[in-house]
Structure 1
Amino acid sequence: MYIKLRFVFAATLAAACVTGLTGCSIPLVGEITQTSVTDAYQTQVNALSSPISDESLVTPKTLTVGLTATSNMAPYVTAAEGNAYQGIDIDLASVLAEQLGLQVKFVNVSSTDALGQDCDIVMNVGKDSASSDFSVVGNYTAAATGFFTKGEVSTVKATDISGKKIGVQSGSATKTMLEGSSLKVVEQEYESLNDAFEGLEKGDVDFVLCDVRPGSALAHTYTDLSFAGTIDSPSFMGIAVLDSNTELKSALDTAYKTVTDAGLQKLINTRWIGSMPSLSEQTKVTDILLNVNKPSTSSNVNTSSTSLPTTSDVNDGSTAGSNAAIL
């Protein structure tokens, strides 16, 4: 999947221009008058000035951005109208490319093995997965499995959740994690994470347990749902780049710091997931043990109101780590 440069976060880029982050060399479509969009676009691409040589890029004058299965879920990458894509990873990579004086192109990759071959950077890579071959720049999101509930909450303990009805997505890693934990709860399965949050809003369940990232995005669409804590420790995510590509790595480090210091990275996250709390060991619900029970079908699992899917779907959560959401 290749996508031509398309700044879906115009407000952010406009802010970048105003604050002098870049020359904003690539125009918005509305500025093109006497010539075709393609010709005008190519003219601006040819005029780009970047501190990064073409030898350090997979494609000249282009930051080629790899998106893995981790990225291909809300709120990181979602389909929009006109065959475009939007989300945190799209917005952040676009702003970084603009800061680097490059056009941007997105491509699906299976892993960081694609670095230097099919892409220059890979989004949404765990900080703890950095190796002798690549580093992970920045820290723009955190992955964890968390509880969401109705109303505002402060501190939640295992005793507050025990015995309650928990909404989970059928076939998700979250469901397996919950069943293997020390918590004794009543499970309510849903075919989609969207349905689970609708059930929480209606009061059909007391909590929803899911990946905090799509969960925060969905909770953000309601006025009375909030994050209550995680069941596991957070894993922090950044942008992978080859250590051997010293020119790009150094420039990316500088660009990320500039964008972050200007508040644009926070602005992007807020746009998609609202005021998601900073995850840490302190946001983890106390007194919950993981991997203590062998998951199995038991009497505390309630599936009466849903039908279980028979095949995996890209939005069913089974292939997206814990859960996926549709925004």
Structure 2
Amino acid sequence: MIGRKFVAGRKGMVGLVAFAYAMAMGLSGCSLTTPTRAEVEPEPVKATLGADDLIEDGVLTVAMDMTDAPQAMTDQEGKPSGYYADIARLLAERMGLDLRVVSSADVTGSLSKGKADLYIGARSGEDDVVESGVLVQNASSIFAKSADGSREVLTVSATTLQGAVVAVQSDSAAQDAMDSAGIDTTLKTKSNVNECFEALADGEVDYVACDSTAGAYLARAYPGTVFVGTIAPMVSYDAIAASGTDLADQAMGILEDALSDGTLEAIFRLWYGDLPFSLDDLALDGVTFEQEAPESEEAPASEGESGEPAQSDSLNSLG
């Protein structure tokens, strides 16, 4: 899913660092000693990017929308956290640079106005920018709880949902997706997606409809709760870099290597558990929609019951 395409524009883990654990044989018997992480010196990476490539020499400045949990958020100490933040750390580590994260929802502005060297989490097909490769896909989806508490994916279809009770965040894109699907269900609205999953765990509802990423993030804490399929168009999000620069080439190479050596999937699993990396062709049987909105269009912004644009799912507890 990583493609060699880049942007026009300005110039251009929970770290997943491999520690080399040394084991030494004792003078007597077969005792083994293993150094602590603090004692292991990671192999230094010599930076090849300089002031001509970066906003600040020696620092990779990465922009992301810090309100887009669990992709990007701040932890209890106010530090950057989430899937995108871990990818930013990976890039900085493998480039031999320090990392600075700035919060912005303006992809083109962050790059063209010199606020960031790289933007992580832009929607594929954003005007004036070209993606470095898909990092995550998101769509309104259905989650269910297995009877035996296993993580086995359940078979759910539009027919299965007929007559079911489904928890959904009020005025969310997932609520709109359920309304548009034409399935005869009873929707039980909640103020946030956490409450939806609590209702599923308590047996108050049969299913949860929510963003696939938010749902997968929370499902980790509820044994037997699994993603079963999408009910709305899928949208892809990417890392963005400036065109024709050493920074762009290095970022591309690192993402390709991280995909092939399993590092990217390891970071993905840390945040999203068993969610499939690709949501292509995972729509529930009997639910028909265009798999992905045309690249020239903006992300869907349909209106909820309140008359305001439908929102992505909000989380009220992170960890």
Q: CA deviation at 1:290?
A: 5.8
Q: Secondary structure at the match of 1:105?
A: strand
8 Å CA contact 1:179, 1:296 repeated in 2: no
Q: What does residue 96 of structure 1 align with?
A: 91
Q: What does residue 323 of structure 1 align with?
A: 313
Say if 2:11 is the partner of 1:52: no
Q: Distance in 2 between matches of 1:153 and 1:30?
A: 40
Q: CA deviation at 1:159?
A: 0.6
CA shift in 2, pair 1:193/1:206, >3 Å = same
* Matching residue within 116, 126, 141 for 1:146: 141
Q: Secondary structure at the match of 1:76?
A: coil
Task: Specify the code of the residue in structure 1 equivalent to 2:104.
Answer: V
Identity rate, percent:
24
Q: What does residue 255 of structure 1 align with?
A: 254
User: TM-score under structure 2 normalisation?
Assistant: 0.76
Unaligned runs of 5+ in 2: 1-12, 22-35, 147-151, 291-301
8 Å CA contact 1:107, 1:119 repeated in 2: yes
Task: Specify the code of the residue in structure 1 equivalent to 2:269.
Answer: T
Say if 2:85 is the partner of 1:85: no
Q: What does residue 65 of structure 1 align with?
A: 62
The two structures, once aligned, show a CA RMSD in angstroms of 3.0
Q: CA deviation at 1:192?
A: 1.3
8 Å CA contact 1:180, 1:290 repeated in 2: no
- Quick check: 216-225 or 50-59, which moved more? 50-59
Q: Secondary structure at the match of 1:115?
A: helix
How many residue pairs align between the two structures?
270
8 Å CA contact 1:149, 1:227 repeated in 2: yes
Q: What does residue 285 of structure 2 align with?
A: 286
Q: What does residue 158 of structure 1 align with?
A: 158
Q: Distance in 2 between matches of 1:215 and 1:257?
A: 27
Counterparts of 1:1-327 in structure 2, within 5 Å, are 8-10=13-15, 12-13=16-17, 15=18, 18=20, 49-68=46-65, 72-113=67-108, 114-116=110-112, 117-129=114-126, 131=127, 133-151=128-146, 152-243=152-243, 245-289=244-288, 321-325=311-315, 326-327=317-318
Higher helix residue share? 1
Q: Distance in 1 between matches of 2:102 and 2:240?
A: 14
Q: CA deviation at 1:250?
A: 0.8
Unaligned runs of 5+ in 1: 1-7, 20-27, 32-46, 298-309, 313-317
**Cα deviations by residue, 1:296-320 (Å, 9 ceiling, x for unpaired):** 87xxxxxxxxxxxx9x9xxxxx88x
CA shift in 2, pair 1:94/1:295, >3 Å = closer
8 Å CA contact 2:67, 2:73 repeated in 1: yes
8 Å CA contact 2:132, 2:239 repeated in 1: yes
